[in-house]
Amino acid sequence: MAAKPSEMRDKALETLRALQGPLYAVLDAARDPRVLSLLKRGGAPYQSLYQGPEAGELESVAPYLVDLTRNEAALEHLIGAGWGRSWGIFLSGPGPMDATRRHLRRFLKVQEEATGNRLYFRFYDPRVLRTFLPICTPKQQTEWHAEVDCFFAEAEDGGLLCFARPPAASRTDP
């Protein structure tokens, strides 16, 4: 018998609560206007992955890095309101928020091979991440996991997927 969506949401919350060290979310304000509203009143530190004029112009549709490390209430509220709605991804890693933000910003745009055009890459959409990470080359795995121990994303069935750092993709020391 398949697990109920509420059971899967509760299991995801239990797994994320049990993590040791920093826990972050990258939430997509473009998915739902409630995302930005929740961040503004939620009490957890957050910052747009965009910077400069782009951050202001795209505030209502930007991806936001949220530090959930010492804010269990924010994590509970986020999972309760957004699980199953593809609001974003979670990640764990040893670094502080500013280093994690710098690392993730590297992946916001990609270059299309055929035209050379720079395109936004919405890796923070769990539907994108769960498709992309399993097909990464070893070099890409090393790049993506340089500051991240594990990426977490909603599975199609509502469960929680963990994309852990492969043994060969060890973190770079400062």
Residue 174 has pLDDT above 70, yes or no: no
**Segment 15-72, tens digit of pLDDT:** 999 998 999 999 999 999 999 999 998 889 999 999 999 888 999 999 999 999 988 8
In degrees rounded to 5, what are phi and psi of residue 166?
Answer: -65, 150
What's the confidence (pLDDT) of residue 58? 92
Residue 171 belongs to some domain of the structure: no
What's the confidence (pLDDT) of residue 132? 96
Dig out the tokens for 37 from the structure.
């509203």
CB–CB of 49/64 below 8 Å? yes
Residue 54 belongs to some domain of the structure: yes
Residue 169 belongs to some domain of the structure: no
The DSSP secondary structure of 32-91, one letter per residue, reads -HHHHHHHHHH-S-EEES--THHHHHTGGG-EEEEE-TT-HHHHHHHHHHHTTTT-EEEE
Residue 170 belongs to some domain of the structure: no
Q: What is the pTM of this model?
A: 0.92
Residue 101 belongs to some domain of the structure: yes
- Domain membership of residue 50 as a residue range: 5-164
- Across 90-116, average pLDDT: 95
If one counts the domains in the chain, the total is 1
Please give the mean pLDDT across all residues of the chain. Answer: 92
